[in-house]
A = this chain, B = another copy of it.
């Protein structure tokens, strides 16, 4: 939560020599869609209306979603809405296990603390930002000026237009865009299937294809207590899509790193990733052991376990790509080609120098200081739960003392309304689980730094990790939303005086964390940002305009076609059906993760089993695209993206059309089960009736 979003400075060369082969590559910003390429490959030219309508129907919900009726009905993935279902669940009503279907609009249930936003406009602000930094002596000075300018543009946007603004740096800072968002802060749950139907095959089948998951859910945006009137929304195509047809995927791909240099990839492969994988494996086994204690424990741990498993698989998939010599050589030869081009042109050489060398040195430093960076900094950032509240509140108390433009990202005036709401929102805290996770963290720190390390002594204050974890979790009142609300309302004053052990703990570790952040920023982060932006700019200067920027968590359009792929000597089909779900269930004896979901089993006779359930397409997606609407060339919704196959993990640093695929829930399956399984014809009617 300390760093709510990041700016990405890279861009991607659509592979230079073979444009046509890789033409489905790319996560394009809506103000720079490669219309000519699309037309050449698919004979279809998306119009301005097509693109505006799709953009204005695309919903940002941390991941992705879309409006599917004029009354604010939102379609997204089950696993995107899962967090809400988990948060709303109690021992009495388990939204995860049982699912939920509102019988009508009136029965929809508010999701505490949830908001979504809509990208209503993109302004090019490159000029004003660049001008602000003109004539600055050092890159660091220029950068600071730019950051201040960005903060002021964002707060102006809120003040003048009532829209949340976010400046996104693209193409290594060759382009700055102000993304303007309308926010919806009142979101209700309309319908969510039970976990066993949305997640059939469980963790085994996560990232697997062929797949048989009903990974969808419906929410609704409200304004002033009434369904939001959404002018733009996607009509659904009840006839679905066919093999070979073009599709567009509109969503929010998280950070990709397709310009990472060979030195950076080697650092990942040899230093950071083996460590991260080992850590996640330990957390997974901790959560699994905790889950074994009882049903309630299993429920409490489920969502987190899901995210850990998910992260592990994705990381292992990327790790596999990093160890793939062919892939790595391809990266290296692309890098060397660009290097040579810079070398042989004096102007380019003067402008861009040798950023590859700088990165090599920076990551050598990161390798050498890996332990400190990890145990004194990284492990305390991005926390959730009690410790997360403490760290966020303590940061907040520090930051609001500063002028707006001096603050850390996420703590500008423009962020504060949302921040305060999120901190105060009701959110179940499981103290037993919190204590276990904190204990794990403390023990890892001791293991990594040794008992005699001064920072370890500061953290533990003479206590054992067990004692400290118990003391902190038992003593804190941060599990009470009203206490948290009080702290943020009274701001710095109360936080400074607070004797809450978790708050005190946060204040105690902060000096060292901030010091390490500073070191990291100077020795790695700033160099990384600057050097990558130099590489991006050099590439831009050399190769021209057929580029797309790396994922930034902001709205992008990908396109591709519905297409199976070769695997070994056979073929993987473009579609799956309900028949396949039953085959997989009976193939495993209809039990465990492969049991026919009870609601489906109950209504099996009614379901047309040959209805397409999931399908795959070549569109270039990554994490964050979950829930993205997939539309045909009429702009009608034919499915929603929910996963990449196992072969798509290395997408984070290289796109590959041979086997990597985006996996989608077919709209025909959604209609079929809404009508025949979930007794929710009214939702289908709402979507079709518009």
Which residues from chain A sit less than 8 Å from chain B, CB to CB?
201, 203-208, 210, 243, 313, 316, 564, 568-571, 573-577, 579-580, 582-584, 586-589, 594, 609-610, 612, 646
Tell me the complex Cα distance, A570–B213, Å. Answer: 15
Partner of A208, one of B313, B568, B594: B568
Question: How far in angstroms is the closest Cβ of chain B from A595?
Answer: 13
Residues of B within 8 A of A584 (CB): 573, 580
Cβ contact within 8 Å between B316 and A569: yes
Cβ contact within 8 Å between B243 and A569: no
Q: Provide 16 A-B residue pairs closer than 8 Å at the C-beta atoms, listed in order of the A residue.
A: A201-B570, A203-B569, A204-B569, A204-B571, A205-B570, A207-B568, A207-B569, A208-B568, A210-B587, A564-B587, A564-B588, A575-B586, A576-B583, A577-B587, A579-B586, A586-B612
**Quick check: A610 and B588 within 8 Å, CB to CB?**
no
**What CA separation (Å) do A586 and B589 show in the bound complex?**
23
Q: Please give me the 7 A-B residue pairs with the lowest Cβ-Cβ distance, nearest first.
A: A573-B587, A580-B583, A579-B583, A579-B582, A208-B570, A204-B570, A579-B579
Residue of B nearest to A205 (CB): B570
Partner of A610, one of B208, B210, B580, B586: B586
A414 to chain B, nearest CB (A): 41
Q: Which residues of B contact A587 (CB under 8 A)?
A: 210, 564, 573-577, 580
Contacts of A586 in B (CB 8 A): 575, 577, 579, 610, 612
A243 to B588, CA, bound (A): 8
Cβ contact within 8 Å between A582 and B609: yes
Complex CA–CA separation, A479 to B588 (angstroms):
53
Chain B positions within 8 Å of A594 at CB level: 573
Q: Which residue of B lies closest to A645 (CB)?
A: B568
- Tell me which residues across on chain B come within 8 A of A243, comparing CB atoms: 589
A67 to chain B, nearest CB (A): 31
| Nearest residue, chain B, Cβ from A211 | B570
B582 near A577 with CB under 8 A, answer: yes
Contact yes or no, A569 B609, CB < 8 A: no
- Tell me whether A588 and B571 are in contact in the complex, defined as CB-CB below 8 angstroms, given that A579-B579, A582-B577 are known contacts: yes
Contact check, A569 vs B610: say whether CB atoms are below 8 A apart: no
Q: Which residue of B lies closest to A580 (CB)?
A: B583
What is the CB-to-nearest-CB distance from A586 to chain B, in angstroms, rounded to a whole number? 5
CA distance A646 to B609 in the complex (A): 29
Q: In the assembly, what is the distance between CA of A557 and CA of B634, in Å?
A: 61
Q: How far is the CA of A316 from the CA of B570 in the complex (A)?
A: 13
Give the complex CA separation of A586 and B583 in angstroms.
13
A569 and B210 alpha carbons, distance in the complex (Å): 13
Given known contacts A206-B569, A579-B580, what 11 new A-B pairs fall within 8 Å (CB)?
A: A205-B570, A210-B587, A568-B646, A573-B587, A575-B587, A575-B588, A579-B582, A580-B587, A582-B609, A583-B583, A586-B612
In the complex, A210 Cα to B589 Cα: how many Å?
A: 15
B588 close to A583 (CB less than 8 A): no
- CB A645 to nearest CB in B, in angstroms, measures 10
Q: Is the CB of A646 within 8 A of B583?
A: no
A589 to B646, CA, bound (A): 24
A203 contact set on B, CB distance < 8 A: 569
A629 CB to closest chain B CB, in angstroms? 23
Q: Which of A569, A573, A583, A594 has the most CB of B within 10 A?
A: A583
A352 to chain B, nearest CB (A): 40
Query: In whole angstroms, what is the CA distance A103 to B181 when docked?
Result: 74
Q: Please, how many angstroms separate the alpha-carbon atoms of A579 and B590 in the complex?
A: 13
Chain B residues within an 8 Å CB radius of A316: 569
Specify the chain B residue showing the minimal Cβ separation from A614: B587
Q: How far is the CA of A204 from the CA of B205 in the complex (A)?
A: 23
A200 nearest CB across to chain B (Å):
12
Interface centre among A206, A316, A580 (most CB of B within 10 A): A580
- Residues from chain B with a CB closer than 8 A to the CB of A577 are 582-583, 586-587
A610 to chain B: which residues have CB within 8 Å?
582, 586
| A568 partner residues in chain B, CB cutoff 8 A | 207-208, 646
**A579 CB contacts on chain B under 8 angstroms:** 579-580, 582-583, 586, 609
**Closest partner residue, chain B, to A244 (CB atom):** B589
Nearest chain B CB to A488's CB is how many angstroms away?
A: 41
A580, chain B: closest CB distance, angstroms: 3
With a CB–CB cut-off of 8 A, which chain B residues contact A646? 568-569
CA distance A570 to B569 in the complex (A): 20
Q: In whole angstroms, how far apart are the Cα atoms of A285 and B309 in the complex? A: 46
